[in-house]
Chains A and B, each alone.
Chain A
Amino acid sequence: MKRRIPLTITLIVGLIVICSEFIPHRPFSQISSELEVWFMIISGFAILLGQLNLIKTNVLKIQYKQRNWPYFVITLASFFLMVGTGALWGSQQNAGLLGHGTAISSAIGSKPFDYLFNNVYQNLQATMFSLLAFFIASAAYRAFIARTTESILLLAAAILVMLGNTSLGTLLTGWLPDSLSFLHLPKVSEFIMKYPTTAGQRAIMIGAGLGIIGSSLRIILGIERSYLGGD
């Protein structure tokens, strides 16, 4: 029962969705539409599960005083601060349990939840990802070595695209006569993207697409069961 019923649900639901594509009438179309709305609601619960799991994991780490445990107190405090401000006064035009918090909003310029998002969260996330600019520059210096034909092609494409995608590329080859305009760096970059890059990526897309189709069928037919976990 713990495995057979879920496998049956997957089979029936998968078949209904596929059938509704070819038989777009009742009952398939209706059931399929209803399933799609259910999907979104259950996805909402799945997101909540993720957040609740984060609390559980962090509480356990603090309880067992794992290495660096004080930092996990900060994680929990930030989580509850965000949830607390959102739940009490809401976000943007949505009211919270205490209404819109007009007094506090007029004092700080926006709702506390929005204030935290705009001034703290946005800056943290944007900076976290901007670190990658430094690491990609460092990686380019250390690992981007032209050793083989393949790596030379990789390197050449990267450099041409990088030059062509900036105003510098426009400036460097802007003087070329019309007859040689195909050598203009932005055009070279556009050519690389439009033809060889599209060809390579399309091959990957077709391969991955076939893989996903195969996996989907295996899941619907109950051959692939790893998503159910152990026992």
Chain B
Amino acid sequence: MTHFFNVFGIWLGAAFTFAIFSFLYKDNPFYKVAEQIFVGLSAGYWFIYTIFNILIPNLFLPLSTDFAANWIKLIPAFLGVLMLMRLVPNAEWMSRYPIALLIGTTSGLAFLRYLKSDVINQITATMINPFVGNNWVTVVGQILLVVGTITGVIYFYFSKKHEGAFGVSAKIGIYFLMVSFGAAFGYTAMARVSLLIGRLQFLLGDWLGIISP
């Protein structure tokens, strides 16, 4: 019985794989059905895992096992219920309270973390002596790194018209951005192809058994 369901599962997977691939030919009912099943199962998974991994261990268990020590958790529970009021047409405004708490916490933390990691540390990482290096390739690279970062930031400064020396710097900045977008495209192509490889490894390996998985 178990063997049957194992094989059936693989065939089910292969059938749904082809149902999605059929979109490459043209949109069709098989694809649409598969797409909707995907949406439904995904939402169902999130629902169950949120309950099993968050609400039960972090809310229901503490409240049910030691209420006296955890009564304060009733506040986020109440705010959570207010969040669900968004579904009730005339009580939608109540969800603003939990949203305000989420937004306030995120904003406060984002302010601190982005300032340090994405601004100060990035500026410090750029302020290197580019002429110190083991070989000329490193030196050239480090010069490019410093020039590219500064000119790139200049390009994003839109409060001053891009003309004269400022305009030239901004133009150099665009060139660096283009190289980085090109590299990003190269890596994106790699990523997408990897996903196709994964699918074909499933079809040729698990399903057809032509290659060893």
B33: interface (CB < 8 Å):
yes
Contact of A14 with B105 in the complex, beta carbons under 8 Å: yes
Contact of B147 among A6, A154, A199, A210 (CB under 8 A): A199
Nearest chain A CB to B2 CB, angstrom units:
5
B189: interface (CB < 8 Å):
yes
Contact of A159 with B97 in the complex, beta carbons under 8 Å: no
Interface size class of A (residues with CB under 8 A): 35 or more
Q: A46-B83, A136-B192 known; A40 and B99 CB under 8 Å?
A: no
Q: List 28 A-B contacts (CB under 8 A).
A: A10-B103, A10-B107, A37-B73, A41-B59, A44-B55, A47-B54, A48-B47, A49-B86, A53-B86, A71-B32, A75-B39, A79-B41, A109-B2, A115-B5, A120-B41, A124-B20, A126-B202, A130-B195, A131-B24, A132-B192, A134-B196, A154-B181, A196-B145, A197-B184, A198-B145, A201-B184, A209-B122, A228-B100
| Chain B 90-118 interface 0/1 with A at a Cβ cutoff of 8 Å (1 = within) | 00110011111111111111111011011
Main secondary structure of the interface of A (DSSP, over half): helix
Q: Which residues on B sit within 8 Å (CB–CB) of A13?
A: 100-101, 104-105, 108
A129: interface (CB < 8 Å):
yes
B188: interface (CB < 8 Å):
yes
Contact of B148 with A195 in the complex, beta carbons under 8 Å: yes
| Chain A 109-134 interface 0/1 with B at a Cβ cutoff of 8 Å (1 = within) | 10001011111111111111111111
Contact of A197 with B175 in the complex, beta carbons under 8 Å: no
Contact of A123 with B17 in the complex, beta carbons under 8 Å: yes
Nearest chain B CB to A231 CB, angstrom units:
7
Chain A residue, CB-CB nearest to B196: A133
| Chain A 194-220 interface 0/1 with B at a Cβ cutoff of 8 Å (1 = within) | 111111111111111110110111011
B129: interface (CB < 8 Å):
no
Q: A7-B100, A106-B2, A131-B21 known; A165 and B32 CB under 8 Å?
A: no
Q: A42-B101, A81-B41 are in contact. List 16 more A-B contacts (CB 8 A).
A: A35-B105, A48-B47, A51-B43, A72-B36, A78-B38, A115-B9, A127-B21, A129-B195, A136-B189, A154-B178, A160-B186, A165-B187, A197-B180, A199-B149, A203-B148, A209-B119
Contact of A158 among B5, B44, B146, B185 (CB under 8 A): B185
Contact of A17 with B105 in the complex, beta carbons under 8 Å: yes
Q: Which residues on B sit within 8 Å (CB–CB) of A217?
A: 107, 111
Main secondary structure of the interface of B (DSSP, over half): helix
Q: How far is the CA of A116 from the CA of B132 in the complex (A)?
A: 57
Q: A107-B2, A150-B178 known; A206 and B153 CB under 8 Å?
A: yes
A63: interface (CB < 8 Å):
no
Q: How far is the CA of A206 from the CA of B164 in the complex (A)?
A: 24
Nearest chain A CB to B148 CB, angstrom units:
3
| Chain B 142-155 interface 0/1 with A at a Cβ cutoff of 8 Å (1 = within) | 10111111011101
Q: How far is the CA of A154 from the CA of B176 in the complex (A)?
A: 9
Nearest chain B CB to A112 CB, angstrom units:
10
Contact of A9 with B40 in the complex, beta carbons under 8 Å: no
Contact of A83 with B83 in the complex, beta carbons under 8 Å: no
Nearest chain B CB to A86 CB, angstrom units:
3
Contact of B183 among A10, A46, A161 (CB under 8 A): A161
